[in-house]
Chain A
Amino acid sequence: MVKYFACVGLLRSSWDQVCMAFWQRYPNPYSNHVLTEDIIFREVTHGNCLVSRRLLTKTNRAPRWMEKYLPVTMARLAYIIEDSIVDPQARTMTTLTWNISHARMMSVEERCEYRMNPDNPSWTEINREAWISSNLYGLSRAVQVRPHPGHWRSMPQIGPGRLHWQLKRRPKTWPHRLRRNSSLSDLALVLTERLFPTLFPKGLVQSTVL
């Protein structure tokens, strides 16, 4: 079973500024868990679009009781891939981010589309979607997450000059009610929150699970 989420957000900065900040967003105060960042593929297509692949290494802050069930190399680290296409003609950027480690336990994909806000060309709108699924027995039924309908939300303006992307990591557009039936659902929620903290309000998983 796949859980699907969607929301729309607004950045009070131009699409150009957002794209520039996208490549410079690490490190930032909310990303202490991101250890390494590498571009591992990049080219400009015949249509003058920039396609890139970024590899991220993040700490995997799994509970200690879980670590003994994970391979040693995966116990402490998680690998994330982020593919992106920047189209300067259409003024759009599409990104897809997903985990390539722990994927058998849980798969989380996040797709974002950034485009110029039609009502205000100096702002950028973000359409965000996420798919969460798990192959663990009993897990897909155990995890019950109900997102509220997405709505517009303003995000802090990115200032001129040096760009540090200070997007809040806990979007208020995705409040959730969580219901858990077993320790496996706890594991799923912890993994999801560790890999993709933007999907969950701050402290929600900890307060519910731990």
Chain B
Amino acid sequence: MLFGQSDHMNSVGEGCTDLKREYDQCFNRWFAEKFLKGDRSGDPCTEMFKKYQHCVQKAIKEKDIPIDGVEFMGPNKDKP
């Protein structure tokens, strides 16, 4: 830990931070040890991700954050 800061970020949903951190730890391990090395065996974080998503998507709706209908890479599609 550097500069006296916390090691982890919070989720936009206050009650989702623990789920987020658990998922992030799982993902970072899978990403480094499996995905980047070309290992296509299953993602061990799927269930954790589902729980985290259920929580965070609810928080996004409650806070009225305008993510609905935003296309993936949307703004850049028409650019060269």
Contacts and interface: CB of A to CB of B under 8 A. Distances in A.
A34 B18 CA distance: 18
Query: Which DSSP category, helix, strand, loop or mixed, fits chain A's interface?
Result: strand
B36 A24 contact: no
Interface string B1-39: 011011111111100100010011001100110011110
A79 B31 contact: no
A131 B79 contact: yes
A193 B38 CA distance: 39
Contacts of A164: 2
A79 B2 contact: no
Contacts of B6: 27
B48 to A, nearest CB: 11
Given A38-B20, A40-B56, A79-B66, A96 B9 contact: no
B36 A20 contact: yes
A37 B27 CA distance: 15
B66 A101 contact: yes
Contacts of B27: 23, 39
Contacts, number: 94
A128 interface: no
Interface residues of A, number: 42
Interface stretch (A44-52, A62-70, A148-156, A200-208): A44-52
A73 B75 CA distance: 24
Contacts of A109: 75-76
Nearest to B64: A73
Interface in A70-96: 73, 79, 81, 83, 85-86, 88-89, 96
Contacts of A42: 49
A125 B19 CA distance: 34
Nearest to B2: A164
Contact of A96 (B31, B57, B75): B75
Contacts of A53: 72
Given A40-B60, A96-B73, A29 B5 contact: yes
Contact of B3 (A29, A34, A35, A41): A29
Contacts of A39: 23-24, 27, 52
B11 A36 contact: yes
Nearest to B53: A40
16 contacts: A20-B32, A20-B36, A23-B24, A23-B28, A34-B9, A36-B12, A38-B11, A40-B53, A48-B38, A50-B35, A73-B64, A81-B70, A85-B73, A89-B38, A109-B76, A131-B79
Given A28-B5, A48-B40, A81-B67, 12 more contacts: A20-B31, A27-B6, A29-B2, A35-B10, A38-B11, A39-B23, A40-B53, A73-B64, A83-B72, A88-B36, A98-B75, A100-B67
